[in-house]
Amino acid sequence: MNIFKKIFKVEQAPKDELVYGATDVGMVRVKNEDVYKLVPEKGVYILADGMGGHNAGEVASSRAVDLLCEYFSTSRLTDMTKNPEKIREEMSNAIKEAHDKIVQLARTKQDYRGMGTTAVVVFTRNRFLHICHVGDSRVYVINESGISQVTNDHSSVGDLVRAGKISVEEARTSPLRSQINQAIGAPFVIAPEYNREPVSESDIVLMCSDGLWDMLSDEEIHSVVLDGETLEDMGNELIRRANEVGGEDNITVVLIQGEKLVE
């Protein structure tokens, strides 16, 4: 198989020993519709996956990330830090506002009709991850004890797995696996999901698009992270392995060392 001959062109974030991000087009897609943004000085991390098969998915994901970054101004983040009860509201409003603007943008050009994107936003403060998302891009917390998915997939198969009607293994091959039921730009009212998770210095937080988790099991992701010496090693190895087994979609990973989150 010629997948091993690919010269990987992984787009990486500027180096920071405690934060790392990278994205790769994969082995099948012609263009990369995944976008991520790291703003560690504000404790804000964003990942979006333009919805495959939709018009201008890359426009939706890129614009959504820009809108979300703009929403979390220094003054707003200061207010959220002083008034933690506002964090959930502000994070949800950020995604809803981005959704409304993407819907409006889609009406301005025929090529934009039907575009959409997943989005996951992480805000870190006082040893907690604050997570708000729509779609099936995921957040994991990983340590020596195991790997924990701390977001729910907003998809048809995600609903079926949570209802106990199909297994995780069956979900991987289900014909419904591409059906997302929450997304920025979707033609219905969205309901962003918020979660708060404690973190410790020994934890590693992984944000990723489905191009990673659909290719690798949680167990393999856990093994790669534990074996990596640096976040860069971990991220590049995760992308390499996802490509090695097919690379059927764009692959994006963001890794954050727990030490960064408890400063």
Which pLDDT score is estimated for 191? 97
Kindly report the CA angle at 21 between 15 and 22, in degrees rounded to 5? 110
Give the pLDDT band of residue 161 (cuts 50, 70, 90).
confident
Kindly report the CA angle at 34 between 166 and 14, in degrees rounded to 5? 125
CATH number at residue 58: 3.60.40.10
Q: Which of 3-7, 99-103, 172-176, 250-254 has the lowest mean pLDDT?
A: 3-7
DSSP string, 64-98: HHHHHHHHS-HHHHHHHHH-GGGHHHHHHHHHHHH
Q: What is the pLDDT of residues 187-228, one digit of tens each?
A: 989 999 999 999 999 999 999 999 999 999 999 999 999 999
Q: Contact at 8 Å (CB) between 140 and 150? A: yes
How many domains are there within the chain? 1
Mean pLDDT calculated for residue range 234-247: 98
Residue 11: what residue type? E
Kindly report the CA angle at 10 between 6 and 15, in degrees rounded to 5? 145
Pairing of the two strands 251-257 and 19-24:
antiparallel
**Domain carrying residue 223:** 2-261
- Would the pLDDT of 4 be above 50? no
- Name the token pair of 209: 């698009």
What span, in angstroms and rounded, lies between the C-alpha atoms of 27 and 22?
A: 16
Give, in order, the Cα–Cα distances in Å from 218 to each of 30, 121, 138, 157, 221: 27, 21, 11, 17, 5
- Would the pLDDT of 90 be above 80? yes
